[in-house]
Structure 1
Amino acid sequence: MYQSHYTCNEYEVLEISGELDCVAVAEGKDRMEKIPESFNENIVCDLSSVTFMDSSGVGALVFLFKRLREQNRKLVLVGLNGQPKELTTLLRLNRAIPVYADIRSCINEAVS
């Protein structure tokens, strides 16, 4: 599911690339389910390299959001562009999950 990760302030940043569709979600299901236990910080999904997202990708993000919320942690999305941005805007995903243009604006908001 995610290609790499790094820590930035109180966030664990997961870089996701390629297509976030039913195939990618099915292949990364075990890895996705382990994210809340694998990382102790709030999670930022950097989607700047995601070229396509379908309902399975949205479902995976909502699943992760709910699991983290149960633990009083946050999920933040950054770098949405193109079709993934259009889909999340259409579904009003930003009403539940905070969305920022990039990592810098997310971190600046958290610091302020």
Structure 2
Amino acid sequence: MPVITYTMNQTLVLTIDGELNNDMVEEIRPIIDSLIQKHTDVLVDMSSVCFIDSAGIGSLIYLYKQLQSNGRRMRVICKQGQPRDLLSILHIDRTITCYQNVRDFLADVSAEQAAMDTRYSSMAM
């Protein structure tokens, strides 16, 4: 199966390889449902996805809405190409934060953590 899940910096990572089409969505539906049951944010790593169709878009939106309704976040890693272009055309990248690579995601998480640390230390004074 071209799907891997693991945890990185308290975020569940769902790595998808190949095409995110109807067949793949049917295959990973149980994994998506299990991610919704967890209590962490989710990063969908689509850096190896070469094609996404309407079923793939639908599964991303479904996961995003389910996570958001439970106070959690979803972010996406998506390189240039058809998947990124489609996320942009549909303006999904305006709602779901998209990164070029894991390094950009980690830099953003580090910046968020530093900002939170600064806020908490100023409140303690």
Same fold flag (TM > 0.5): yes
Aligned to 1:81: 80
Aligned to 1:100: 99
Q: Which amino acid aligns with 1:33?
A: D
Structure 2: segments with no counterpart, 5+ residues = 112-125
Aligned to 2:36: 36
State the distance in 2 between where 1:109 and 1:27 align. 31
Count of matched residue pairs:
111
Alignment deviations for residues 41-90 of structure 1 (CA, whole Å, 9 cap, x no partner): 21000001111100110000000000000111000001333111111111
Aligned to 2:24: 24
Alignment deviations for residues 7-51 of structure 1 (CA, whole Å, 9 cap, x no partner): 2113111111111011111232232222111x3321000001111
Comparing 66-75 and 1-10, the one that deviates more:
1-10
TM-score by length of 2: 0.81
CA contact (8 A) 1:2 1:14 kept: no
Aligned to 1:15: 15
Larger Rg: 2
1:33-72, aligned counterparts within 5 Å?
33-37=33-37, 39-72=38-71
Aligned CA RMSD, in angstroms, stands at 1.6
Q: Which amino acid aligns with 1:43?
A: V
Higher relative contact order (CA 8 A, sep 6+): 1
Q: Percent identity?
A: 32
Partner SS state of residue 96, structure 2: coil
Sort the Cα spacing of 1:46 and 1:83 in 2 relative to 1 into closer, same or farther, 3 A: same
Partner SS state of residue 39, structure 2: coil
TM-score by length of 1: 0.90
